[in-house]
Every structure is written in C-alpha cells, then in structure tokens.
Structure 1
Amino acid sequence: MPDLNLLITLDVLLAEGSVAGAAKRLGLSASAMSRALARLRDTTGDPLLVRAGRGLVPTPRALELREQVSRLVQDAHAVLRPTLSLDMHQVERTFTLRTSEEFVEHVGPALLARIAQEAPGVRLRFVNKTDKDSALLRDGRVDLETGVVDPAASPEVLTQALFRDRLIGVVRKGHPLSRGAISAQRFAEGRHVYVSRRGQDRGQIDAALERLGFTRQITSIVAGFSTAMALARDGDLIASVPERYTAHRHDLFCFALPVSLPTFTVAMLWHPRLDADLAHRWLRGCLREVCGQ
C-alpha cells in the first residue's frame, strides 16, 4: 500500500526545488525531509531532484509528475475540505419524511411550494408515522421525522422544535356544545371520538376529567386527527385535536377544553449521519421557516 502522504511531500519538493524550503513549508526537520526524498526516490525509481551547483533541479520524470501530482493534491484537499455552499437548483434528490397525515395536510402545501421555487429537482416522499420507533431514521430509510418531543427518545437522534401547540375541542356547527358555556360536566356528557395511534382507549383528557369527578364516553377510537375531525363534522361526536390543525376549518366549531392540560412541542427529528449534509440542512431550514409562518 503506497503512502499517500508522499504525494504532498513530492508536491512541495517540486514546488520549492529545495529540501530546506520544503522542510520549512511542511514544518519538518531537514533530515526528515531528506529521508522523505529518499523514500520518494525508492518508490518512483527516479532521483526526482538532483544537485546542480548549490541547488537542486528536477529530472525529466519529476517535470512529468509535477502537474499531475499538484492536481492530485488539490483534488484530495477538495475532497477533505468542508462543503460551504450548495446550489439547490442543481440538486436531484428524494427525501423521505415520516409524519402524520394532518401534518402533511397543514404544512405540505407551503413546503412543496417553497421546494418548487428553490429546488425543483427535489422530491418529497411522505410516509405515515404510526409509532415513535427511531429505527427507520437510524437505518436510513427515513430522512426526517416530525412528532411530539418525547423525553424517552433515542439519544442518538437529533431534534429541533418546530412549534408549540395545545389540544382544543371541535364539534360540528349547530352541535349543542356550540351554544353556551362549556363546563367540564357538559363536555364529559357528550359522545367523544378519541385519537390513538397505538390503540389506547384513554389519555390525559380522561385523567384530567377524572380528577374533577367526571368520566367521558368514548364511542370511537381512530388513528388520526383528520379522521376525528371528519367524524365530528358529520355527526354529533366531540373531537380533541391540536389547535394548529383547525386553522381555516370553518366547517367546525372550536372551543377551549374545560380541563387544564399542558401545551406540547412538535419537533423534527433526524439522525446525526445527516446533520452536516447541506441539502438536508436546507430542507430542515425550509420546514422550520414554513412552520414558523
């Protein structure tokens, strides 16, 4: 296996035409540089630099190599140098985003419009998120995820907050809850649709109601907030959904829940493998700005 460090040494020797000058430029002693020149002579089978008077001159073989070696060294530096910019108009790439259908419905149009303008060769592939398992990020099948920040998330996954939100109640226009004050009792006495991607049949709203002495009736359990809002819109069910997903939903009556619940943070998640990738950084920036609008 050839010592590729010798290429850098040869490039400097040929540029300086002096063992002492090359040694100074590389921060080596004159004896170390002489040993390096001896190894280069042995490796190439050519003297490379020969004495002429008080200096050294390159052999014909060295003159042949000078341009090629210089180009190789420059290419190596370019490979190892951090990439500082990227023309996204020239990028052809597909990113896989794992998120909920309602997140795509709410954020997708603005994100796709931004991408079409800045990076027409970029395509987004959305896949439905059904759990919090980070294995798909880890093995590279997913490039970016969104979801509620989970303190128990894998420490190897990077996260950045996108926005804060809260749960609110929604019912159809004309529903009894759309008239008058909404107490915890009136809320609990209604028929509810509950959203659970993991099939659970109760959550923090039920716990909060029970602390007040009430139990609500859950008549339907669905996997997504969009489905819950559709059932509430076309029937008498009450759905509790993130407030952000109700923007521009003029077909629903929205109200603050009559129980105290903490707000939550929705974040994007990615694997450290892609942290320095410029195209991935650009995508994260687009998503962050779109969610901040």
Structure 2
Amino acid sequence: MSDFDINQVRRLDGGLLLVFRECLRRRKAQEAAQVLGLSPSAVSHALTRLRDLFGDPLFVRKPHGLVPTRRALELEPQVEALLQLAGAALGGREAFDPSTSQRVFRVSAPEFVTDLIGGRLLNALAAEAPGVLFTVEHMVQGRALEALRRGEIDLAVGRFAGGFGEHRTERLYEDRYCVAARRGHPLIDGRIDAQTYALAGHVYAMAGSETAGDENLPGPLEMTIVARAGAPHWMTVLVMVAASDAIATCPRRLAERHADMLGLQVMDPPFEPMRLAVEAVRRRRTDDPGIDWFLGQLRAAVG
C-alpha cells in the first residue's frame, strides 16, 4: 500500500461511512442526524469531510432533500460492504434468540401473500417470539430490490421477473389462478364454461403491486370487467364477489383459504390457468441468523 493510500485510509472512519449511508438512505440530512443521534451541524461537517476525501460533492442540496451524485451511487455498495465487514469483525456472527428478541423485521410483500400467511405467522410469533414484530409494505419489483439493497427492508417477497443482481432468492411456494364465485350463484355451480366466464361480470385486481408488475389478464379469454381494485386488494375483490354475482380470477391458495369464511366456490378456469411462483429475496452478503430464523417462519406459515 502506498503512503498516499495509507494517508487516505487514516482520514476515513466508521462514523463518516455511517453518515454517508444514512444520507443515501434518507436523502435528508436532518433525518440522517436523527437516526445516528447526531446534531445537524455534525452531519454537515461529516459531509464536508467526505467530499474532501472522495474529491466529489457526493450530494447536491435540493428543496426536497439531498440528491446523490453518480460518484455517491458508485460508492454505495462499497461503503455498505465495508460496514458489513466491520460489523462482522467487531461482533462476529451475533446469536439470535427469538424468545427474548425485540427485533422488528421489515418485509415487502403483496397483499395476496400477506393474506395467505399473515395469520399463521402472527400465531407462530406469539408462541415462539412474543417480542418480535414485523412490518409489511407493498412495493413493485424495482422499488423492493432497491430498498433491499439500501437496507431499508430485510426481505422482499412476491412474484419477480428476474434481475436479482447482488441478492439471493429462494422459492417459497407455487400457485395457480382459479375462478371464485359466491355459493348460490344463479349461473355457476361448481364449474364454469368459457361462455359464462366471458359474460359474467369480473372484479379485476390490477397486479402492479404483486412485485413483478404484471398487469396482463390471467387468461386468454375475453371478460366483462365490472370493477377494478387497484392495489391489488385481493380481499376486497373476494368480499365483493361474495356479496354479488360477479366473479374473480385470483390466486387459488388465497381463495381456498377464505372460501368457507366468505361462502365462495373455487373452480378451475375454462383455460389452462396461469401459474405463479412466490419467492423470498434477501441481500447476498448478509450473514444474519435473525433473518435466517424469520425466513424459516415464513416457510412454515405457507403450510
């Protein structure tokens, strides 16, 4: 290592790296200061040192907050790796005890996944990890993977169209689409033909927040849409179907889970149903026994 490199390293400390990371995550100096327990002036001073160290403005102040420069975005994965290595070197692989943990796990997942596994997951945590909480946000694929990369969430769950980059993924379960209608429907009794499918009114859930961003209709047949749920809010769709003569094409596991409660009949569509794979994605370089444990809870909740 040259004298120049040694001098540069001497000027760099973990506190500066933390300020850099939080300013990238929050895009607001004041919020970064609050997270780190620093004063705004301390964050401002750290940014000045970072700019001098890297020979780049790194962040441009705008009315809505801090906008990172191209150099800052290039540095982000390297800084994150340094912080991960520093944490591992100082603390080792920290043990995780679910019975005493107060950890909050942050997850991105579409509604059809959380509706399917949320109840079982809550019961499992209440029994095994009463202090553990989890939060769920609905994000499309690009936003979910970016949030994962920035450390804003621990896991991204849903349908993905590839592009995992530095992350690693595993399949949680597979499903296929079905048709749901209320029991006692005047035209449908346990099965549905192509003509009835085409003429019956459909409640259609837009699939933009199912992470993969696929907004295509799930089958090759024409359909008459009478209502759209825009999140998609699958439970809203199923409740509307249960209270009307409309039908819905939706994930089968979800429909079967709520069929008895809502009084639904669940049928194969009159075409080869589209299949969907639900995957869990995590940061590749993260060696975290807590996330290992929580992912195991998700697998068990699928049933």
* TM-score, normalised via structure 2 length: 0.61
- Separation in structure 2 between the aligned mates of residue 201 and residue 85 of structure 1, nearest angstrom: 39
* Matched residue, 1:176: 186
* Matched residue, 1:220: 227
Which of 216, 240, 244 is equivalent to 1:203?
A: 216
Residue 121 of structure 2 contacts residue 301 of structure 2 at CA under 8 Å; is this kept in 1?
A: yes
Which of 118, 136, 145 is equivalent to 2:147?
A: 136
Residue 208 of structure 2 contacts residue 214 of structure 2 at CA under 8 Å; is this kept in 1?
A: no
Using the TM superposition, give the Cα deviation of residue 179 of structure 1 relative to its aligned residue in structure 2, in angstroms.
Answer: 2.5
* Matched residue, 1:255: 267
- Separation in structure 1 between the aligned mates of residue 275 and residue 181 of structure 2, nearest angstrom: 21
Matched, 1:269 2:281: yes
* Matched residue, 2:249: 240
- Separation in structure 2 between the aligned mates of residue 102 and residue 216 of structure 1, nearest angstrom: 22
Matched, 1:284 2:282: no
- Separation in structure 2 between the aligned mates of residue 119 and residue 158 of structure 1, nearest angstrom: 26
One-letter code aligned to 1:182: I
Q: How many residues align?
A: 209
* TM-score, normalised via structure 1 length: 0.63
Rg (Cα) greater in structure: 1
Q: Report the 3-state secondary structure (helix = DSSP H, G, I; strand = E; otherwise coil) of the residue aligned with 2:172.
A: strand
User: Which structure 1 residue ranges, 5 or more long, are not aligned?
Assistant: 2-75, 210-214
- Separation in structure 1 between the aligned mates of residue 139 and residue 101 of structure 2, nearest angstrom: 27
Measured on the aligned residues, the alpha-carbon RMSD in Å equals 2.8
* Matched residue, 2:11: none
Distance 1:266 1:159, change over 3 A: same
Using the TM superposition, give the Cα deviation of residue 205 of structure 1 relative to its aligned residue in structure 2, in angstroms.
Answer: 3.2
- Separation in structure 2 between the aligned mates of residue 201 and residue 137 of structure 1, nearest angstrom: 21
Q: Report the 3-state secondary structure (helix = DSSP H, G, I; strand = E; otherwise coil) of the residue aligned with 2:158.
A: strand
Distance 1:132 1:239, change over 3 A: farther
| Residues 1-293 of structure 1: pairs in structure 2 closer than 5 A | 79=89, 83=93, 85-133=95-143, 134-151=145-162, 153-179=163-189, 181-198=191-208, 203-206=216-219, 208-209=220-221, 215-222=222-229, 223-246=232-255, 247-250=257-260, 251-274=263-286, 276-291=287-302, 293=303
Using the TM superposition, give the Cα deviation of residue 196 of structure 1 relative to its aligned residue in structure 2, in angstroms.
Answer: 1.0
User: Which structure 2 residue ranges, 5 or more long, are not aligned?
Assistant: 1-5, 7-85
Instruction: Percent identity, please.
Output: 28
Q: Deviations over 1:161-205 (max 9, x none)?
A: 111101000111221343275211221111111111439996243
Q: Report the 3-state secondary structure (helix = DSSP H, G, I; strand = E; otherwise coil) of the residue aligned with 1:187.
A: helix
